[in-house]
């Protein structure tokens, strides 16, 4: 079943940017092009190549997770720093798409920072895609003995069926969706969160946006975290 789904993803989601790159590549060789037209075609090549690269990265992430070869390299890390790096990865210097809120003096967590960065890049990209141009909210705070991080969009929300299958690889509820994707991002989110000892779930009411909630159990802080851990 996974192989069939992968073939479907390859046939559409990989072929589409490749077709655009090939078409633009042929067109850019035309001697009659003006500089502005050549620049536009060059931009198409770059954007579609970046889209293709991101999809390949996701396929590799999912492949490693399913093969059990994505063992995290855990170390003490700041989730605030991880989230801010992910925001920069998603939108560069233009961070207006996201509204971040972190409790003061959040403790560190023991996790693979690179894997968590991939988690939040996927969540932020997904939330921004569905948020209708409104800022995506990201909140991190301590709830009991857990670190809680919530990514909240202002999109159309999910129904019960969509929620039940949201984290399945290659799941697409509606192929005619105005926001197409390969259905890989949320499966990668769950895989990396659980590999690092956390839990993730989605909450939604149709018409009222979606919340993706991640929790990590807190551990005794290292001596070097003075001023970071809560007493």
* pLDDT in the model for residue 52: 84
Q: Most distant CA pair in the chain: distance in Å? A: 70
- Residue 174 pLDDT more than 70? no
What mean pLDDT is reported for the chain? 84
* pLDDT in the model for residue 14: 76
* pTM higher than 0.85: no
Average pLDDT, stretch 17-40?
85
- Residue 71 pLDDT more than 60? yes
- Residue 226 pLDDT more than 60? no
Q: State whether residue 42 is helix, strand or coil.
A: helix
* pLDDT in the model for residue 117: 96
Average pLDDT, stretch 37-63?
84
CA–CA gap between residue 153 and residue 60 (Å, rounded) = 27
Average pLDDT, stretch 60-69?
81
**pLDDT one-digit tens code per residue, 116-164:** 999 999 999 999 988 888 899 999 999 999 999 999 999 899 999 999 9
For 91, phi then psi, to 5°, come to -130, 10
Average pLDDT, stretch 30-49?
85
Residue by residue, DSSP assigns 59-74 as HHHHHHHHHT------
Domains (ranges, CATH) in the chain? Answer: 2-67 (1.10.287), 75-225 (3.30.565.10)
* Per-residue pLDDT band at 54 (split at 50, 70, 90): confident
More confident residue, 172 or 231: 172
**pLDDT one-digit tens code per residue, 98-117:** 999 999 889 999 999 999 99
The sign of the dihedral angle between the CA atoms of 22, 28, 32, 33 is positive
- Residue 229 pLDDT more than 80? no
pLDDT > 70: percent of the chain: 85
CB within 8 A of 17, min separation 6: which ones?
48, 49, 51, 52, 55
* Per-residue pLDDT band at 177 (split at 50, 70, 90): low
């Amino acid at each position: 079943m996974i192989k069939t789904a992968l073939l479907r993803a390859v046939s559409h989601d990989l072929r589409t940017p490749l077709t655009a790159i090939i078409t633009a590549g042929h067109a850019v060789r035309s001697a009659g092009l003006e500089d502005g037209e050549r620049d536009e075609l060059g931009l198409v090549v770059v954007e579609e190549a970046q889209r293709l690269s991101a999809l390949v990265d996701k396929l590799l992430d999912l492949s490693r997770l399913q093969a059990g070869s994505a063992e995290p390299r855990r170390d003490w890390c700041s989730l605030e720093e991880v989230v801010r790096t992910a925001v920069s990865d998603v939108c560069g210097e233009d961070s207006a798409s996201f509204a971040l809120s972190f409790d003061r003096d959040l403790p560190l967590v023991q996790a693979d920072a690179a894997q968590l960065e991939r988690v939040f890049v996927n969540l932020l990209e997904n939330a921004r895609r569905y948020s209708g141009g409104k800022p995506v909210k990201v909140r991190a705070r301590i709830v009991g003995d857990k670190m809680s991080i919530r990514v909240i969009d202002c999109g159309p929300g999910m129904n019960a069926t969509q929620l039940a299958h949201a984290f399945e690889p290659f799941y697409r509820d509606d192929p005619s969706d105005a926001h197409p994707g390969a259905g890989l991002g949320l499966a990668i989110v769950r895989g990396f969160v659980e590999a690092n000892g956390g839990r993730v779930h989605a909450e939604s009411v149709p018409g009222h946006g979606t919340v993706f909630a991640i929790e990590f159990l807190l551990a005794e802080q290292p001596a070097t975290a003075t001023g970071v851990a809560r007493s």
